[in-house]
Amino acid sequence: MAELRSRRSNLAVPGSNPRFLEKAKGLPADQVFLDLEDACAPLAKPGARKNIVAALNEGGWGQKIRTVRVNDWTTEWTFQDVLEVVGGAGANLDCIMLPKVQDAAQVKALDMLLTQIEKANGLEVGRIGIEAQIETAQGLINVNDIAFASDRIETIIFGPADFMASINMKSLVVGALHPDYPGDPFHYILMQILMAARARGVQAIDGPFLQVRDVPAFEEVAKRSAMLGFDGKWVLHPGQIDAANEIYAPSQEDYDHAELILDAYDWATSEAGGKKGSAMLGDEMIDEASRKMALVIAGKGRAAGMGRTSSFTPPEA
């Protein structure tokens, strides 16, 4: 199982605002994405590229995953975004986020461009990842192909606002339930994205909640995708970061229990434990399926930097 990089909170930072770029360095988000797309007016994009290159090269980001969201391939800015950012700060960049991905060919085009820029600048080829954002009906139809389009893919992301416009959804509240619909109108979309991400072995990230000052409502929405298995969510305001970090990490109790299951199963299947295929952990029977479930919870806890508060003691013979 590949080691996870924690992406519980994914903070959007407009590249056109140097003050926000500097402030973001000190915030406790797992990932920052420095935005050249929707957060930047067309006339501000050239300056935003320079701001982002400078901010990345100045450092101070700690252990955060450093991502830049470029403009989508239907615009005139994508090529220059990638060329300037990766050419200028590729050594200090982890991922490029591609918005409004429609099909696998768009991911492959970005992969090819990244490879050429890496080679031209003496960077390690293939190190910079791609985060693919699904924001249209066409993108969702092709999400499985998109997930497998490149070895660089690290996350599949839901972009709710553009997606709602894409399907003519009758709502202006982004990322929340609607009182006129007896259920969750985003459930199908989220599950499609989650299945594609899990089949590919990468992370699934939920999109933003725009009512940024309503943290309880953010928590309600986040808990739904976290329960499905999503790895994290976008945050648009520093006030949402702590909530995302808590919701998308296991509880301490669940994390401890997962680690105990792994230890108990390892012992039970060992020579000393009798080479058993199943065992008891207290009143609970555990087996290989239990181990797989525990690996998920333990992996998320470890990625979030959690520590154990209990330890396993083999039962006496």
Binding residues for substrate are 69, 135
Which residue positions form the known binding site for Mg(2+)?
A: 135, 162
Measured N-to-C along each axis, helices 187-200 and 215-228 cross at an angle, to the nearest 10 degrees, of 50
Q: How many residues does the chain have?
A: 317
Sign of CA dihedral 145, 147, 150, 156: positive
Q: Residue with structure tokens 């994290």? A: 232
CB-CB contact of 110 with 146 (8 Å): no
Encoded tokens for 72: 């989508």
Alpha carbons 196 and 145: distance in angstroms, whole number: 8
Encoded tokens for 111: 């992969």
Q: Please give, one letter per residue, the 3-state secondary structure of 127-196.
A: CCEEEEEECCHHHHHCHHHHHCCCCCEEEEEECHHHHHHHCCCCCCCCCCCCCCCCCCCCHHHHHHHHHH
Alpha carbons 208 and 269: distance in angstroms, whole number: 44
Encoded tokens for 190: 């989220």
- Give the C-alpha distances (Å, rounded to integers) separating 108 from 39, 69, 104, 112, 168: 25, 17, 6, 6, 29
Alpha carbons 24 and 42: distance in angstroms, whole number: 23
Which residue positions form the known binding site?
A: 69, 135, 162
Alpha carbons 247 and 144: distance in angstroms, whole number: 27
The closest alpha carbon to 27, from 11, 14, 16, 15, belongs to 11
